[in-house]
Structure 1
């Protein structure tokens, strides 16, 4: 197996790939790519190297690319294939294609994964006639005892970016947004022990990809990161997203639905 790539190399590779494929707008600039640096650090902190990890709702596959190239045994689940899929399969990536007709059930055995990661997925399940709690209980099922669930890019109910987006014509915004109490209640009902939760991301990122050349400059990206961190501390309640990390506690079982 090739040696794992550095986080900086992965970000650079994905920004290069984004110039060829419109399916990767988050990586049109280094400023945009750096929104995932915090996620990469969370993986270093909470995931065991070489463990079996599911990228749940892997979308365009950018985070699966990270997991594969960091040496995790990576599986991906999504409703559609994506441009990076052939390259990842050649490296041992396992892909399962789901169907919107079954918005909750996952095609995996009980206790199959050391970790499951959701990157911008949990907030969308109701749009597909699913349910956040039902999905978390299904994730509980496929996690091993002491397994980790890492949720990233969960929209904050009080985000200033979301507030502004709802007031601009033709601007996308998240239909479902959350508070710290919502996260705690969902994890408690799913019998997932909450290890960490935090708001982050005060400054917009993806929009910088529309500024030719500017967002690609390492100094601009570093300055953007520094301002985002400082403002995110001072104005935490207005940040765009939450992340949270939860663990399957052995012996606990979620209350059955219905």
Structure 2
């Protein structure tokens, strides 16, 4: 694996992925779409919790089909060269996960509307790792010459307000928008990996400190497609505080 998949080698990042999968299991959906599945790291975790999960990703330079990636050979990721339209029927899923994806798509409003189409009434949309416009880590990356969100053509950064607005505009009802993660989780540093659990817990604890949380790494959004068949009611604790 190369530097672009360093998040898979970062143990603290793995704790977040596990917490997200636990949150999904708490909601008890029947069928999940892992939108922008990457290597299948989230699909694998969701399936391990006994939930049916479809892995999908947009690959502009590869023919439509399925593929498996090193370390996740048991996950067949369905990929397409179509940047917005999804190869699924109306209301096919009752939960859609977007983990580190929405900030990279060419037309986020259209993509959110398409996710709305393939989600059943009462189904959920969970968005994680959406880059916070005021993140101090983004500023450090930018000024040190490292990759930061906004450097590439379609990269976007968000606030709680702008994220809620674009999700609502696509027909979703936002249940919660929050700021999370104060410490870098995706760096596969040997020392950080050794202390990954306390780093993870401290990162989440700091997210709840007033004012300090404004500089958090990411925005998270939980939304529902309006309809009568709602999943389990949201709880006060988010997935990332697990």
| TM-score computed with the length of structure 2 as normaliser | 0.81
CA contact (8 A) 2:128 2:220 kept: yes
Measure the CA separation in 1 of the matches of 2:31 and 2:147. Answer: 34
Deviation at 1:152, TM superposition (A): 0.7
Aligned residue among 96, 112, 135 for 2:78 = 96
Measure the CA separation in 2 of the matches of 1:37 and 1:97. Answer: 24
Measure the CA separation in 2 of the matches of 1:109 and 1:140. Answer: 11
Measure the CA separation in 1 of the matches of 2:101 and 2:216. Answer: 18
Q: Taking structure 1 as reference, are residues 85 and 35 closer, same or farther at Cα in structure 2, changes over 3 Å only?
A: closer
Measure the CA separation in 2 of the matches of 1:249 and 1:237. Answer: 30
The one-character-per-residue Cα deviations of 1:56-78 (angstroms, maximum 9, x if unpaired) are: 01011100111121111111111
Aligned residue among 61, 70, 94 for 1:83 = 70
Measure the CA separation in 1 of the matches of 2:28 and 2:175. Answer: 13
Partner of 2:199: 224
| TM-score computed with the length of structure 1 as normaliser | 0.76
Measure the CA separation in 1 of the matches of 2:139 and 2:100. Answer: 18
Residue 52, structure 1, aligned to residue 24, structure 2:
no
Moved over 6 A (4+): none
Aligned residue among 117, 120, 135 for 2:100 = 120
CA contact (8 A) 2:41 2:72 kept: no
CA contact (8 A) 2:91 2:121 kept: yes
- Can you give the 5+ residue segments of structure 2 that lack an aligned partner in the other structure? 60-66, 151-155, 229-242
- Which structure carries more helix by proportion? 1
Secondary structure of residue in 1 paired with 2:17? helix
Partner of 1:159: 135
Residue 200, structure 1, aligned to residue 180, structure 2:
yes
The one-character-per-residue Cα deviations of 1:100-122 (angstroms, maximum 9, x if unpaired) are: xx210000001111111111000
Q: Using CA pairs below 8 Å that are at least 6 residues apart, which structure has the higher relative contact order?
A: 2
Residues matched between the structures, number: 212
Q: Which moved more, 1:141-150 or 1:24-33?
A: 24-33
Q: Taking structure 1 as reference, are residues 57 and 29 closer, same or farther at Cα in structure 2, changes over 3 Å only?
A: closer
Partner of 1:183: 163
Deviation at 1:223, TM superposition (A): 2.1
Partner of 1:13: none
Partner of 1:237: 214
Q: Taking structure 1 as reference, are residues 68 and 226 closer, same or farther at Cα in structure 2, changes over 3 Å only?
A: closer
Q: Taking structure 1 as reference, are residues 117 and 135 closer, same or farther at Cα in structure 2, changes over 3 Å only?
A: same
Partner of 1:39: 20
Q: Taking structure 1 as reference, are residues 114 and 29 closer, same or farther at Cα in structure 2, changes over 3 Å only?
A: same
Residue 26, structure 1, aligned to residue 26, structure 2:
no
CA contact (8 A) 1:61 1:84 kept: no
CA contact (8 A) 1:137 1:190 kept: yes
